[in-house]
Amino acid sequence: MPELPEVETVARQLHPLIKGTRVVVCRTYDPKLRLSAELLKGAEVRRGFRRGKFVVFELADSRGRTSFLAVHLRMTGRLLWTDSAADREARKYLRAELELNRGSLLFCDARRFGTMEIFATEAEIPVRGVDPTAELFTLEGLRSMLKGRRQPMKLWLMRQDLLTGVGNIYASEILFRARISPRRTAARVRPDEVPLLFRSIREVLSSAIKHCGTTFSDFQDARGTAGGFERFLRVYGRKGEPCRRCKTPIKRIVQGQRSTFFCPNCQK
DNA sequence: ATTATATCCTGATCGC
DNA sequence: TGCGATCAGGATATAA
């Protein structure tokens, strides 16, 4: 389940591979993806980067006009780079294929929740919230986003219209480090707790990026290999196992039809 | 206005 | 061993 660190990992790995290549042809195998092959044909790929949870490719057509191909991996989407035909045949759940002059970019997605769309400008990519890894995200900004919000903190952290990029795994991890119960209402986070929450958001995400993301069930990077953050997970997926701080068994609850993991002793 | 819920999708897992 | 039921979840549309 790709969240900000996983998407960042994919974008960083793809960038040097696709930079300067040209689109030979775009093939789609899923009618759900209404991707215009015409728009892509012959375009030069200028760069690959992350915006929110989108992997974005900046394209330039023959006249130098730019456009942006934004890929959202949602649950099970993968962007895989391959330069071998045999390898290409082996890929399962292939929904689209961007054949470039130096290899192919495959979009594989078992559950077909992912999206691919071309935008004329970067600003049109539908990312609403603040990127928590950016300078624009500040302690005071966090305070004002918490103000008056009546949602439990776990659900609040996953709101993409406030902060962009936190998903189910990192929401639990951030709250463990911030020592805040996932059930606590956002507005009830005390002023003196906000700095630790702020640091927890930034540190969990930057640490996960450093380790190329978490491979829990669905994530693979651009070469089809695993991320390395699993061994740093303190609560996610550890129901019944002892808390690494206090040995209390980790609890699993359901919030908004999703699993939340936390330590009932460390997090109040 | 804000928050809660249903929906999309299908592989993996579970219980009988 | 086989098979149906359940689970997993990011984001959005719709309902409350």
Query: What is the percent of chain A with per-residue pLDDT over 70, rounded to a whole number?
Result: 94
Model's pTM, two decimal places?
0.92
**Per-residue pLDDT averaged across A198-212, rounded?**
92
Residues 154-173 of chain A: which lie with beta carbon within 7 Å of strand B?
155
For position A229, what pLDDT does the model report?
Answer: 78
Burial class (CB in 10 A: 0-12, 13-18, 19+), A92: exposed
SS3 content of chain A, % helix, strand, coil (to 5): 30, 25, 45
- Residue A235: the pLDDT is 92
The overall average pLDDT reported for chain A is 89
A56 and A50 Cβ atoms separated by less than 8 Å: yes
pLDDT band per the 50, 70, 90 thresholds, residue A227: low
Nearest protein residue to nucleotide C10 (CA to C1' distance) is: A74
Residue nearest to nucleotide B7 (CA to C1'): A113
In this complex, the nucleotide whose C1' atom is nearest to the CA atom of residue A149 is: B2
What is the DSSP track for A144-171? HHHTT--SBHHHHHT-TTTBSS--HHHH
A 112-141: CB within 7 Å of strand B: 112-113
What is the predicted pLDDT for the residue at A153? 94
pLDDT of residue A217: 45
* Nucleotide closest to residue A257 (CA–C1'): C9
Per annotation, catalytic residue among A51, A53, A154, A184: A53
Highest-pLDDT range among A32-36, A77-81, A82-86:
A77-81
A88 pLDDT higher than 70: no
pLDDT at A52: 92
**Mean pLDDT within A183-205:** 95
pLDDT at A172 over 70: yes
Q: Are A59 and A47 in contact (CB under 8 A)?
A: no
Contact A51, A10 (CB under 8 A): no
A105 conformational bin, left if phi > 0, alpha if psi -120 to 50, beta if neither: beta
- Is residue A53 annotated as a catalytic residue, yes or no? yes
Instruction: Give residue A223's pLDDT.
Output: 56
Answer whether residue A72 shows pLDDT above 50.
Answer: yes
More confident position, A222 or A240: A240
A3 is catalytic: yes
Which residues, at least 6 apart from A124, have a Cβ–Cβ distance to it below 8 Å?
A68
Residue bearing the bigger pLDDT, A65 or A34: A65
pLDDT(A218) > 70: no
Contact flag, residue A151 CB and nucleic strand C, below 7 A: no
The pLDDT of residue A221 is above 70: no
Mean pLDDT of the region A184-192: 94
Which nucleotide lies at the shortest CA–C1' distance from A148?
Answer: B2
Element holding A87 (H helix, E strand) = helix A85-90
